[in-house]
Amino acid sequence: MLSQALEGGKKPKVRQQVRFMAEVRVERRGDGELHETFEPADWAGILMQSHGAGIPYYVSGGFQRALDYFDPAKAACYRFAPDPKVANRIDFSAAPDALRHAECRDETGLNGFALLDAAGEVVHVERTVPDAVSRRTNLAPFVALDLAPVVLNGRTYRLSSRVVSDGRPGRLYGHFEANYSACRLFHATVTIKPTP
């Protein structure tokens, strides 16, 4: 993973930078929602690299929200249209009346697109939200995700393989990149026995 704090315009200067490895764990909760947690391989190394300031810019939700825009339960939240100039591209935006629907988040002004492969599977998603919405909702202003098929226990899942995000978490400009690999599937079995 790469996390940077940048300053400046066309050729920004790197004020703080950290490259690190981490384990991202995604679990499905009882309500069906995915929950994403993150554990760096070496906190001490991160603190030393970044001069004691931690990770300058980190974006979560690469797995949790990767395909939210295409969830049938959230169909009222977005408007979709094929791009007439680019084959296998679908443009989407926040529905004008999205905030009237309980299942929709505040993403006023959201715009994005998805690229599909020949089989119709999503391979790339990009979306932006205005800075005001980003500050109010804690959504990254810009996120790009690549998705790829991953076979786990004989079943194929479409998972995030790369995320790139830019935003302004403070006075500096943040940039974040992550490549996801070595995905594993964990199962837990709980046996409740009668008390003796």
- Dihedral of alpha carbons 157, 184, 123, 36, sign: positive
The Cβ-side half-sphere exposure at 35, using a 13 Å CA radius, reads: 6
**Token pair recorded at residue 12:** 């920004």
Average pLDDT for residues 113-131, to the nearest whole number? Answer: 94
Distance CA 62, CA 55 (A): 17
Instruction: Give pLDDT tens digits for 159-196.
Output: 888 999 998 766 778 899 988 887 777 666 677 878 77
Q: Where are the alpha helices (DSSP H) in the chain?
A: 43-49, 131-137
Decide if 172 contacts 5 (C-beta within 8 A): yes
| High-pLDDT (> 70) share of the chain, % | 89
Residue with the larger pLDDT of the pair 133 and 32: 133
Q: Which range (1-5, 27-31, 79-83, 139-143) has the least confidence? A: 27-31
Distance CA 109, CA 85 (A): 23
CA distances from 132 to 154, 163, 175 (A): 44, 22, 18
| High-pLDDT (> 90) share of the chain, % | 34
